């Protein structure tokens, strides 16, 4: 056992050791596999630990229960049970190999085996096909440790067969490459390109989970530039962006390269911590440009209405991918308003907040800062002459902070008067008319025609 393996032995959580120890004390070989091994070799913390064992699942469950662990039979058709140890789930699966995948997602049959090497041979990529034991060390029959060190994603065995078995592995390859900052091995890449259309047969929510994972790595710009065949197979609405010449003095790149630069820009603007909604908005903010394109008599391209159409496409794409509703609503709001004209004034800031509130109720405050980050990244991804606008956004950010520090007025409930004041001062009956007056008053405050001061608002009502 070398120094790295000794470190892994020290770092292996005690709850995982308990599962290994119980199984091996009962005479069943067991190993830690999967993500914990990969991440531990990289020096990254990991908490979810998976175990594989020669024991049949019923025997595994009996042994672990006898050792005082709670056991849930979570996937017995595939030989899997989950032990809960010290409050942590440890998924434990019998060594297995898999038959054909007629639906390109699930194996038609599972056969249990007694050699862990056969189990590792069925896995997707070499970096995920390693096993570890705190006494026996690392078992690495496919060179995963070397590929991990070289930052290479390589399929186990015949690449095309791996992707034809389960088309979702096409997206997983891209996600792992993004997450690890890796390149994809040449033969694996050829198989990726050939098998990407198979994603059409995969449940859209599974595609959504992988796409969301790709965006979460912060390296979607790399994926757009290097793995666009996969990205457009996952989200067909992206396809028209490739090579689309904008014919505009404001743009130096086609829609795809511009989008990649905006995706990279929001990572830069937020220190690598943009919200999921901002990441999706960066990806989809110009998705409707090809559909909205027109050319004037001078040969200049225009994209009238693309923010509104882009918001509709965003809702359709993200809804199909089964992403959380609040994230969908927020991303669509950012796409809708990414071309919203802003000035560093209270009235402009209030209009922005009000529009965001209408598009994504309850999210206006955080979305306002996200919108400024999106606009900043968008400006920097345009022609050089347009990039100075990014600096102007600093003044708008300061105006937004001043507005919020002063209480902020962008909803009727932010007003210093209420419906009861309207009824008293205007002498009208309760009903829709009260809301109409409050809406008019809010517009006056947003336009800076009257301050949000109670006495000033009451005077406005009496006028």
User: How many Cβ atoms sit within 10 Å of the Cβ of residue 133?
Assistant: 20
Identify the pLDDT of residue 108.
60
Domain range for 346: 245-405
Which residues lie closer than 8 Å to 427 by C-beta, 6 or more apart?
none
Compute and round to an integer the Cα radius of gyration of the chain: 28
pLDDT of residue 357: 93
Question: DSSP label at 135?
Answer: T
220 found inside a domain = yes
Do 27 and 94 sit in the same domain of this protein? Answer: yes
We report the CATH number of the domain holding residue 42 as 3.30.460.10
What is the distance in angstroms between the CA of the first residue and the CA of the last residue of the chain?
A: 86
Give mean pLDDT, residues 143-152. Answer: 97
Task: Considering only residues 317 and 390, tell me which one the structure prediction assigns the higher pLDDT.
Answer: 317
**What's the pLDDT score for residue 337?**
97
Which pLDDT value is given to residue 109?
66
Over 60: is that where the pLDDT of 30 sits? yes
On whether residue 298 sits in a domain, the answer given is yes
pLDDT-derived band at 408 (thresholds 50, 70, 90) equals confident
Task: Please say which residue of 207, 234, 261 terminates a domain.
Answer: 234
Does residue 23 have a pLDDT over 60? yes
pLDDT score for 194: 96
Instruction: Give yes or no: residues 327 and 378 share one domain.
Output: yes
What confidence score (pLDDT) does residue 81 get?
96
Residue 240 in domain: no
Q: Does residue 396 share a domain with residue 266?
A: yes
Q: Are residues 160 and 117 in the same domain?
A: no
Residue 310's pLDDT band, with cuts at 50, 70 and 90, is very high
Residue 253 scores a pLDDT above 60: yes
221 membership: H or E segment, kind and range: helix 220-226
pLDDT tens track for 149-168: 999 999 999 999 999 999 99
d(CA 12, CA 34): 13
Of the pLDDT bands very low, low, confident and very high (cuts 50, 70, 90), residue 123 is very high
Mean pLDDT of 319-330: 98
Q: Are 415 and 438 in contact (CB under 8 A)?
A: yes
Helix (H) or strand (E) holding 373: helix 364-380
Same domain as 145, residue 178: no
Q: Which of 149, 179, 197 is the last residue of a domain?
A: 149
**Vertex 130, ends 129 and 134: CA angle to 5°?**
155
* Selected residue with higher pLDDT from 98 and 282: 282
Task: Write out pLDDT tens, residues 168-215.
Answer: 999 999 999 999 999 999 999 999 999 999 999 999 999 999 999 999
Q: For residues 8 and 41, state if they share a domain.
A: yes
Q: Average of pLDDT values for 390-394?
A: 87
Is 181 buried (19+), middle (13-18) or exposed (0-12) by CB count in 10 A?
exposed
Same domain, 417 and 447: yes
- Confidence band of 102 (pLDDT split at 50, 70, 90): low
Residues 411-459: pLDDT tens digits? 888 888 888 888 888 888 888 888 898 988 888 888 888 888 888 888 8
Domain tally for the chain? Answer: 4
- What local confidence, expressed as pLDDT, does residue 104 receive? 53
Same domain, 275 and 397: yes
- Pair 333, 372 in one domain: yes
Residue 371: both structure tokens together:
């919108």
pLDDT-derived band at 55, boundaries 50, 70, 90: very high
37: pLDDT strictly greater than 70: yes
Question: Is 239 a domain residue?
Answer: no
pLDDT at 289: 95
Mean pLDDT throughout 52-61? 96
Tell me if 431 is assigned to some domain: yes
* DSSP symbols for 153-213: E-BSS-HHHHHHH-THHHHHHHHHHHHHT-EEPHHHHHHHHHHGGGGGGS-HHHHHHHHHH
In a domain, 393, yes or no: yes
pLDDT over 90 at 361, yes or no: yes
Positive or negative: CA dihedral 266, 272, 277, 280: positive
Residues 19 and 126 occupy one common structural domain = yes
Domain boundary among 98, 117, 149: 149
Return the pLDDT at 100. Answer: 53
In DSSP terms, which residues pair with 52 in a beta bridge? 31, 93
**Per-residue confidence (pLDDT) for residue 460, from 0 to 100:** 87
- Average per-residue pLDDT for the chain: 92
Instruction: Read off the CATH number of the domain in which 222 is found.
Output: 1.10.110.30
Are the C-beta atoms of residues 164 and 195 closer than 8 Å to each other?
yes
Residue 110 domain flag: yes
Classify the C-alpha dihedral 412-413-416-419 as positive or negative.
positive
Question: Is the same domain home to 342 and 200?
Answer: no
Q: Does 417 map to a domain?
A: yes
Give the model's pLDDT for residue 389: 82
Predicted confidence at residue 282, as pLDDT, reads 98
229 and 194 share a domain? yes
* % of the chain exceeding 70 in pLDDT: 97
Helices (H) and strands (E) in the chain, counts: 22, 13
Check residue 385 and give its pLDDT: 80
Q: What's the pLDDT band for 324 if we cut at 50, 70, 90?
A: very high
In the chain, how long is the greatest CA-to-CA distance? 89
CATH number at residue 457: 1.10.246
Q: For residue 449, what are its two tokens? A: 């025609």
Q: Is the pLDDT at 300 greater than 90, yes or no? A: no
CB atoms within 10 A of CB 189: 21
């Amino acid at each position: 056992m070398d120094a790295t393996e000794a470190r892994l032995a020290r770092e292996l959580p005690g709850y995982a050791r308990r599962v290994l120890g119980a199984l091996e004390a009962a005479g069943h070989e067991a190993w830690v596999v999967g993500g914990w091994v990969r991440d531990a070799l990289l020096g990254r913390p990991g908490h979810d630990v998976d175990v594989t064992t020669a024991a049949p699942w019923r025997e595994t469950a009996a042994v672990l229960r006898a050792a005082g662990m709670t056991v849930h039979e979570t996937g017995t058709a595939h030989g899997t049970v989950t032990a809960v140890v010290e409050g942590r789930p440890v998924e434990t699966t019998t060594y297995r190999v898999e038959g054909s995948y007629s639906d390109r997602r699930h194996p038609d049959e599972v056969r249990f085996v007694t050699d862990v090497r056969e189990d590792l041979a069925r896995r997707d990529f070499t970096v995920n096909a390693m096993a570890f034991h705190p006494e026996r060390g690392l078992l690495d029959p496919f060179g995963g440790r070397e590929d991990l060190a070289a930052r290479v994603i390589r399929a186990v065995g015949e690449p095309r067969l791996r992707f034809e078995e389960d088309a979702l592995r096409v997206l997983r390859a891209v996600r792992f490459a993004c997450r690890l900052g890796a390149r994809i091995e040449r033969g694996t890449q050829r198989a990726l390109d050939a098998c990407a259309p198979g994603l059409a047969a995969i449940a859209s929510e599974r595609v959504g989970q992988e796409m969301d994972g790709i965006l979460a790595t912060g390296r979607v710009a790399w994926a757009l530039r290097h793995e666009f065949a996969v990205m457009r197979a996952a989200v067909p609405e992206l396809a028209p962006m490739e090579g689309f010449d904008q014919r505009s003095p404001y743009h130096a790149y086609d829609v795809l390269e511009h989008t990649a630069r905006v995706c990279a820009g929001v990572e830069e603007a937020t220190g690598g911590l943009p919200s999921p909604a901002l990441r999706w908005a960066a990806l989809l903010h110009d998705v409707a440009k090809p559909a909205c394109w027109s050319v004037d008599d001078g040969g200049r391209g225009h994209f009238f209405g693309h923010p509104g159409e882009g918001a509709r496409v965003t809702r359709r794409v993200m809804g199909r991918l089964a992403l959380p509703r609040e994230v969908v609503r927020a991303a669509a709001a950012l796409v809708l308003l990414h071309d919203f004209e802003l000035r560093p004034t209270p009235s402009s800031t209030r209009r922005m907040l009000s529009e965001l509130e209408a598009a994504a109720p309850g999210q206006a405050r955080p979305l306002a800062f996200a919108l400024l980050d999106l606009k900043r990244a968008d400006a920097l991804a345009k022609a050089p002459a347009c990039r100075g606008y990014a600096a102007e956004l600093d003044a708008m950010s300061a105006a937004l902070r001043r507005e919020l520090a002063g209480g902020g007025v962008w909803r009727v409930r932010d007003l210093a008067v209420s419906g009861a004041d309207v009824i008293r001062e205007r002498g009208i009956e309760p009903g829709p008319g009260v809301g109409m007056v409050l809406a008019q008053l809010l517009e006056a405050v947003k336009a800076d025609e009257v301050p949000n001061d109670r006495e000033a608002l009451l005077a406005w009502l009496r006028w």
